[in-house]
Amino acid sequence: MATESDVIVETKNLTKIYRDFWGRQKVRALKALDLEIHRGEIFGLLGPNGSGKTTTIKLLLGLLFPTSGEVNILGRTASDVSKNERLGYLPEESYLYRFLNAEETLDFYGRLFKIPGAVRRQRVDQLINMVGLESAKKRQLREYSKGMTRRIGLAQALINDPDVIFLDEPTSGLDPIGTRNMKDLILELKKQGKTIIMSSHLLGDVQDVCDRIGILYQGELKELGRVEDLLKVVEQTEIRVSYLSDDAKKKIEKVIEEDSDAKLEFWGNPTTSLEKLFNEIISESEARPGKRVRGGENTK
Amino acid sequence: MILENPIPPFQEWIGKAALSWAIAVLVLAALAFVVSFVLLLVFKGTKQAGTVFKTGVSDAWNDLIHFSWKRCFAVAGLAIRESVRKKVVVVGVVFIILLMFGGWFLDPDSKDPARLCASFVYQTTTYLVLLLALFLSSLSLPTDFKTKTIYTLVTKPVRSSEIVLGRIIGIGAVGTVILMLMACCSYFFVSNTLSHTHILNDAEDLTYVTDADPSTLAPDTVIAKGYTRLANGHKHQVEKYASGDLRVFEENKHIHGIEQTVRDGMVRYKIGPERGSLQAKVPLYGKIKFRNADSFERPRGINVGEEWEYRSYIAGATDEAIIWTFEGITPKKFAEGLPVEMTISVFRTHMGNIEKTIMGAMYVRNPVTGLTAETHVFNSEKYTTKALTIPVELNKSKVKTKPWVVKKMSDSESFGVQSASLPSKESYNLFEDFVVDGKLEIWLQCLDSQQYFGAAGPDLYLRAADANVFLNFFKGYLGVWQQMLIVISFGILFSTFLSGPVAMASTFGIIVAGFSKQLFIEIAHLQSLGGGPVESFNRLITHQNMMIDLPNTFSTHLGQTFDHIAGAFLSIIGLALPSFSDFNYYADCVANGYSVSSNAILVHLLTTVSFVAPLFVFAYVILRNREVAK
Ligand SMILES: Nc1ncnc2c1ncn2[C@@H]1O[C@H](COP(=O)(O)OP(=O)(O)OP(=O)(O)O)[C@@H](O)[C@H]1O
Ligand SMILES: [Mg+2]
């Protein structure tokens, strides 16, 4: 179990209700979220469109004010600007000044961290190199394609060599190679001891890189735990054997038949995946709304 | 033309101004505080409101101690880039086009072309620069919100205060550069429009009045007279003297130099460029008081009823006098005598001979001994500026044998000055016999009975010096610059909580209301004829005269109650309203040939800061507590 100081982000009963101008309730985007994210882990927020992933990240960053509940991030409140010194944030879409070019963009954000000139120039070059934009670094961002904007957005999030990085759908808009690079980069950042909080609905991506995930559905946390634990199907047993003879196969079938409870459901190559889990949770939640009593840490 | 309501001296002004500023800021801050706290209570409940408030204060403190000029200038740099890349230079082009058209429409035959030109360029620059400031400031932050670039920005360690101040600085810098370019263009335009010479041809334009040999005549005898040829709609009278010198008389507020050359027995004249169209006189103002017919001192003279209250009058051929007391008069400053310029208003009770001007006399008086000497007898026409010089050596025959007295209301018995005759001297010196500790009185009396002279404080001044005309022209743009900063601050403030178009409309409203602040305050205090907005509207649709009382009905009362509430609301806005028309001072100065005083610059600079600073704080507080991602 992680120690207290290892908790980078903590939310208690975090709730967000979007209201209109007159204060009338529009959407309950997040319902009583309790969450702890630890130093050095990659945490994935999963959920269908409109489930509250972006809302959660914005609340953590102080871009939105919670309707109720608390956020503690790096030992500070979300409204304390000092926390930003050690943060990096890649928004859902890269919200950058379109009249600047790549170099100017990174230079500007570097200045906001008061990075000294020489170091800043070096970091800007290095990041532009890393995201593969050397050839376009003098072009204004208004001319950039979606993927290119995404890349410069990522570079911008890393300008201060942050300890905690928020990535809102990091792979959206990227080509397969870009996606691969992004995933490698995330793992590389983890190796450097950074904490990463990412949201995505691309399950493959999450499965590949995340240590722990939380699944949101209509603003409620439905599942929370380590990826390998969640994907372990406890009631099922999987035996993988190479070159099994027909004879042995028959014997095994017989043994299973002898077990009164056991029932042979499937015989073949199992395809348990995050996708399956995800779909299961969604359909279950649709059938029975409310908190789910099953699964990883959520059951405690 | 005399400047009315000159800016009060800084030391006199600062106390009262600081107080009313502090009151206005406190009232508005308290109001904002109460409103936001009530809103918090309503939406969050007592317990949470307290917590929110506490974190708010601690966050503000953190922001304050972490404020960084580096980040502030980074934001300023961004604002500059944004403006430049979004091609604000267009405004400059518009200005140049306006100048080109302006050149066609300005009346070339004007009696005071310098004033016309200067007023035109200052007005055009003011409107264009304020419009530019309005656009840049009120659209900048809303664009950030609309494109959501603000998300990326506020998740960096940059404080809201730096975002706001950086924007003010950046947009201010862009405006300053544009303003400077416009000032240069304007100077070029004005000097180009004013510059001209005339042709003078010896044979055709001059008439010789004597056949005598000039060398036998006194050197200042006029031997030839005439007029130059027409240029810029006017011509100058020219006189040639026996000494061979020529003089070009003033016309349309300027003169020309003249040179003559003799070649092949032919006399040719070359008239030089115009001089004196643009001036930068440095006036030294005195304090005005009046003496009534019983020799008592009064702050005001007679009200002749016809004129607006600003000037007050003395009756002719009585003991009444208008008295100016000057300070700081030294022989060093006025070695050549005291150059007095005055614009005296004349009120006639009978027209008499309308051609005949009214006679007046000017005196200097020692403020301690009461020794008085007549310096000039002059005739006065209505509202023309007269320039007279009081000489340093005063003629014995002009010195009064008895000192003149002014009795104070408090000491009706002892006069404060001895009324006995003063020992008479052979010769009198202005600085030795009349000036005491740099103080001197100048008196005016009207000599024609049943006629009146009127004046206000600034109507008579000493022309202490002449400042650099070129510099003065540019100083005049300080007024535009100061107004621009105020507009930018308002634009930024509104854009922290309103969408672009609404922020723009609000800032525009401030500009319009600020240019007519007086009227605004009158409406707010229900002093204007016909009542407040609802009552006026009622009168308008029911076709009722503005003067009659409305019927005593419920709806009338309802309307008037509403007007009182609206009036209170407007009064509060009035507190925060800058009086833009005060900044006309600068353009008036330059256009009328006065030097822009450092005192005025100081006063207006402080006024500007008194707006920019609280607006900045308000903008910070709003942006800081705004939910960015909403
Ligand atoms: N500014 C807003 N005003 C009102 N409702 C909002 C606002 N932003 C988000 N919502 C609502 O809150 C809910 C959660 O939105 P959110 O953006 O957090 O979803 P998400 O999980 O990030 O979805 P996606 O995968 O599409 O990015 C949605 O129902 C959305 O309509
Ligand atoms: Mg999202």
Structure tokens at A46: 């999963």
CA of A91, nearest ligand number:
2
pLDDT at A298: 44
User: How far A81 CA sits from the closest chain B CA (Å)?
Assistant: 6
Q: Is A218 in the pocket of ligand 1 (CB under 6 A)?
A: no
Nearest to B149 among A77, A96, A113 (CB): A96
pLDDT at B1: 45
Looking at the fold, whether B300 and B418 belong to one and the same domain comes out as: yes
In a domain, B387, yes or no: yes
- Give the integer Cα–Cα distance in Å for A107 and A87: 17
Instruction: Look at residues B418, B445, B466 and tell me which one is the last residue of a structural domain.
Output: B466
Report how far apart, in Å, the C-alpha atoms of A154 and of each of A45, A55, B467 are.
18, 20, 59
- Give the integer Cα–Cα distance in Å for B127 and B140: 20
Question: Which amino acid is it at B601?
Answer: I
Q: Kindly determine whether residue B82 and residue A99, on different chains, have CB atoms separated by under 8 Å.
A: yes
Nearest to B156 among A23, A84, A140 (CB): A84
The answer on pLDDT for B414 being more than 50 is no
Between residues B82 and B524, the one the model is more confident about: B82
Q: How far is CA B107 from the centre of its chain?
A: 24
**B147 Cβ neighbours under 8 A, 6+ residues apart:** A95, A98
Quote the strand ranges of B366-450, DSSP E.
372-380, 385-390, 393-394, 428-429, 440-446
- Give the integer Cα–Cα distance in Å for B198 and B228: 6
- Give the integer Cα–Cα distance in Å for B103 and B108: 9
Looking at the fold, whether B246 and B268 belong to one and the same domain comes out as: yes
Q: Which of A5-14, A176-185, B168-177, B408-417 has the highest mean pLDDT?
A: B168-177
The answer on pLDDT for B596 being more than 80 is yes
Q: What are phi and psi of A164, to 5 degrees?
A: -125, 130
In a domain, B507, yes or no: yes
Structure tokens at B548: 């009659």
The answer on pLDDT for B33 being more than 90 is no
Q: Is A49 in the pocket of ligand 1 (CB under 6 A)?
A: yes
Between residues A71 and B576, the one the model is more confident about: A71
- The percent of chain B in helix, strand and coil, each rounded to the nearest 5, is 50, 20, 30
* Residue A114 CB-density burial (10 A; 0-12 exposed, 13-18 middle, 19+ buried): middle
Q: Whose CA is nearest to atom 27 of ligand 1?
A: A49
Average pLDDT (B4-27) is: 85
- Give the integer Cα–Cα distance in Å for B248 and B254: 10
In a domain, B170, yes or no: yes
Looking at the fold, whether B303 and B212 belong to one and the same domain comes out as: no
Q: Kindly determine whether residue A91 and residue B55, on different chains, have CB atoms separated by under 8 Å.
A: no
Q: Whose CA is nearest to atom 12 of ligand 1?
A: A29
Question: In this structure, how many other beta carbons lie within 10 angstroms of the beta carbon of residue B516?
Answer: 15
User: How far B63 CA sits from the closest chain A CA (Å)?
Assistant: 8
Structure tokens at B235: 């011509």
Q: Is A201 in the pocket of ligand 1 (CB under 6 A)?
A: yes
Q: Is B630 in the pocket of ligand 1 (CB under 6 A)?
A: yes
pLDDT band at residue B548 under the 50/70/90 scheme: low
Check if the beta carbon of residue A58 is closer than 8 Å to that of residue B107.
no
Angle formed by the axes of helices B517-524 and B500-515, to 10°?
Answer: 90
Where in the sequence is the domain holding B321, given as residue range(s)? 283-466
Out of A26, A30, A51, mutate this one to test ligand 1's pocket (max ligand atoms within 8 Å of CB): namely: A51
CA angle A255, A256, A257 (to 5 degrees): 90
Report how far apart, in Å, the C-alpha atoms of B29 and of each of A15, B166, B170 are.
32, 23, 27
Question: In this structure, how many other beta carbons lie within 10 angstroms of the beta carbon of residue B384?
Answer: 11
Structure tokens at B108: 């070339």
The answer on pLDDT for B411 being more than 50 is yes
- Give the integer Cα–Cα distance in Å for B483 and B582: 10
Q: Which chain A residues contact residue B498 at CB under 8 A?
A: none
Between residues B530 and B342, the one the model is more confident about: B342
Looking at the fold, whether B536 and B607 belong to one and the same domain comes out as: yes
The answer on pLDDT for B413 being more than 70 is no
Report how far apart, in Å, the C-alpha atoms of B380 and of each of B339, B346, B445 are.
17, 7, 11
**Considering only CA atoms, which of B424, B421, B391 is closest in space to residue B405?**
B421
What is the distance in angstroms between the CA of the first residue and the CA of the last residue of chain B?
57
- Parallel/antiparallel/unpaired status of strands B428-429 and B287-291: unpaired
Q: Whose CA is nearest to atom 31 of ligand 1?
A: A50
- Three-state SS string over chain A comes to CCCHHHEEEEEEEEEEEEECCCCCEEEEEEEEEEEEEECCCEEEEECCCCCCHHHHHHHHHCCCCCCEEEEEECCEECCCHHHHHHEEEECCCCCCCCCCEHHHHHHHHHHHCCCCHHHHHHHHHHHHHHCCCHHHCCCEHHHCCHHHHHHHHHHHHCCCCCCEEEEECCCCCCCHHHHHHHHHHHHHHHHCCCEEEEEECCHHHHHHHCCEEEEEECCEEEEEEEHHHHHCCCCCCCCCCCCCCHHHHHHHHHHHHHCCCCCCCCCCCCCCCHHHHHHHHHHHHHHCCCCCCCCCHHHC
- Give the integer Cα–Cα distance in Å for A74 and A54: 20
In a domain, B231, yes or no: yes
Q: Is A105 in the pocket of ligand 1 (CB under 6 A)?
A: no
pLDDT at A200: 86
pLDDT band at residue B168 under the 50/70/90 scheme: very high
Alpha helices per DSSP H over B497-583? 500-515, 517-524, 533-541, 554-575
Structure tokens at A83: 């926390």
ipTM above 0.90, yes or no: no
Q: SS3 for B257? A: strand
Q: SS3 for B270? A: strand
pLDDT band at residue B606 under the 50/70/90 scheme: very high
Q: Kindly determine whether residue B155 and residue A82, on different chains, have CB atoms separated by under 8 Å.
A: no
pLDDT at A264: 67
Q: Is A91 in the pocket of ligand 1 (CB under 6 A)?
A: no
Give pLDDT < 50 ranges for chain A: 1-2, 293-300
pLDDT at A178: 85
Check if the beta carbon of residue A219 is closer than 8 Å to that of residue A67.
no
Pick from A94-103, A203-212, B347-356, B393-402: least confident: B347-356
CA of A27, nearest ligand number:
1
pLDDT band at residue B323 under the 50/70/90 scheme: very high
Instruction: Look at residues B241, B275, B309 and tell me which one is the last residue of a structural domain.
Output: B275
Report how far apart, in Å, the C-alpha atoms of B387 and of each of A140, B97, B378 are.
64, 39, 11
Which atom of ligand 1 is nearest to B630's Cα? 1
Specify the number of domains making up chain B: 3
Angle formed by the axes of helices A102-112 and A117-130, to 10°?
Answer: 130
Q: Is A54 in the pocket of ligand 1 (CB under 6 A)?
A: yes
Question: Which amino acid is it at B177?
Answer: V
Q: Is A52 in the pocket of ligand 1 (CB under 6 A)?
A: yes
User: How far B495 CA sits from the closest chain A CA (Å)?
Assistant: 17
Q: Which chain B residues contact residue A91 at CB under 8 A?
A: 148, 151-152
Looking at the fold, whether B380 and B457 belong to one and the same domain comes out as: yes
Residues of A with CB under 8 A from a CB of B: 23, 58, 61-65, 68, 77, 79-82, 84-85, 87, 89, 91, 93-100, 104, 108-109, 111-114, 140, 153, 156
Looking at the fold, whether B309 and B455 belong to one and the same domain comes out as: yes
Looking at the fold, whether B562 and B483 belong to one and the same domain comes out as: yes
Q: Kindly determine whether residue A81 and residue B86, on different chains, have CB atoms separated by under 8 Å.
A: no
What domains can be seen in chain A, in order of their start residue?
Answer: 4-97+160-233+271-299 (3.40.50.300)
Q: Whose CA is nearest to atom 22 of ligand 1?
A: A54
Pick from A164-168, B118-122, B166-170: least confident: B118-122
pLDDT at B526: 63
Q: Whose CA is nearest to atom 24 of ligand 1?
A: A49
Which atom of ligand 1 is nearest to A169's Cα? 27
Q: What is the pLDDT of residues B450-509, one digit of tens each?
A: 888 888 888 899 998 888 889 999 999 999 999 999 999 999 999 999 999 999 999 999
Question: Which amino acid is it at B162?
Answer: E
pLDDT at B369: 85
What is the distance in angstroms between the CA of the first residue and the CA of the last residue of chain A?
14
Looking at the fold, whether B138 and B252 belong to one and the same domain comes out as: no
Q: SS3 for B581? A: helix
The answer on pLDDT for B416 being more than 90 is no
- Give the integer Cα–Cα distance in Å for B156 and B152: 7
Q: Whose CA is nearest to atom 26 of ligand 1?
A: A49
Q: Which chain A residues contact residue B59 at CB under 8 A?
A: 79-81
Check if the beta carbon of residue B245 is closer than 8 Å to that of residue B263.
no
Looking at the fold, whether B480 and B404 belong to one and the same domain comes out as: no
Structure tokens at B481: 């610059």
Q: Is A16 in the pocket of ligand 1 (CB under 6 A)?
A: no
pLDDT at A292: 54
Out of A54, A171, A282, mutate this one to test ligand 1's pocket (max ligand atoms within 8 Å of CB): namely: A54
- Give the integer Cα–Cα distance in Å for B129 and B124: 8
Check if the beta carbon of residue B616 is closer than 8 Å to that of residue B489.
yes
- Give the integer Cα–Cα distance in Å for B366 and B381: 28
Angle formed by the axes of helices B10-65 and B598-624, to 10°?
Answer: 30
pLDDT at A296: 46
Between residues B603 and B345, the one the model is more confident about: B603
In a domain, B35, yes or no: no
Q: What is the pLDDT of residues A72-127, one digit of tens each?
A: 999 898 889 999 999 999 998 889 999 999 999 999 999 999 999 999 999 999 99
Angle formed by the axes of helices B554-575 and B533-541, to 10°?
Answer: 140
Looking at the fold, whether B387 and B528 belong to one and the same domain comes out as: no
Instruction: Look at residues B436, B466, B496 and tell me which one is the last residue of a structural domain.
Output: B466
CA of A60 to the centre of ligand 1 (A): 15
CA of B145, nearest ligand number:
1
Average pLDDT (B48-56) is: 80
Work out how many CB contacts closer than 8 A connect A with B: 89
Residue of B nearest to A22 (CA): B43
Looking at the fold, whether B170 and B247 belong to one and the same domain comes out as: no
In a domain, B30, yes or no: no
pLDDT band at residue B255 under the 50/70/90 scheme: confident
User: How far A292 CA sits from the closest chain B CA (Å)?
Assistant: 30
Contacts by residues A73-77 (CB-CB < 8 Å, ≥ 24 positions apart): A73/A8, A73/A9, A73/A10, A73/A164, A74/A8, A74/A9, A74/A163, A74/A164, A77/B55
Structure tokens at B373: 């000497």
Average pLDDT, chain B: 85
Nearest to A80 among B59, B74, B158 (CB): B59
User: How far B228 CA sits from the closest chain A CA (Å)?
Assistant: 60
Question: In this structure, how many other beta carbons lie within 10 angstroms of the beta carbon of residue A281?
Answer: 21
Out of B151, B627, B628, B630, mutate this one to test ligand 1's pocket (max ligand atoms within 8 Å of CB): namely: B630
Interface test with chain A among B63, B73, B151, B499, by most A beta carbons within 10 Å: B151
pLDDT at A101: 93
Between residues B214 and B24, the one the model is more confident about: B24
Query: Which residue has tokens 């370019």?
Result: B181
Looking at the fold, whether B305 and B446 belong to one and the same domain comes out as: yes
- Give the integer Cα–Cα distance in Å for B560 and B333: 60
Question: In this structure, how many other beta carbons lie within 10 angstroms of the beta carbon of residue A217?
Answer: 22
Pick from A283-297, B182-196, B607-621: least confident: A283-297
Half-sphere exposure of A157 (CA within 13 A, CB side): 30
Check if the beta carbon of residue B186 is closer than 8 Å to that of residue B123.
no
Q: Which of B51-55, B287-291, B597-601, B611-615 has the highest mean pLDDT?
A: B611-615
**B217 Cβ neighbours under 8 A, 6+ residues apart:** B210, B223, B242
In a domain, B207, yes or no: yes
Q: What are phi and psi of A52, to 5 degrees?
A: 110, 15
**A12 Cβ neighbours under 8 A, 6+ residues apart:** A34, A69, A70, A72
Q: Is A18 in the pocket of ligand 1 (CB under 6 A)?
A: yes
Q: Which chain A residues contact residue B152 at CB under 8 A?
A: 89, 91, 94-96, 109, 153, 156
pLDDT at B532: 66
In a domain, B460, yes or no: yes
- Three-state SS string over B86-150 comes to CCCHHHHHHHHHHHHHHHHHCCCCCCCHHHHHHHHHHHHHHHHHHHHHHHHHHHHHHHHHHCCHH
Q: Is A149 in the pocket of ligand 1 (CB under 6 A)?
A: no
| Residues B465, B471, B473, B478, CA torsion sign | negative
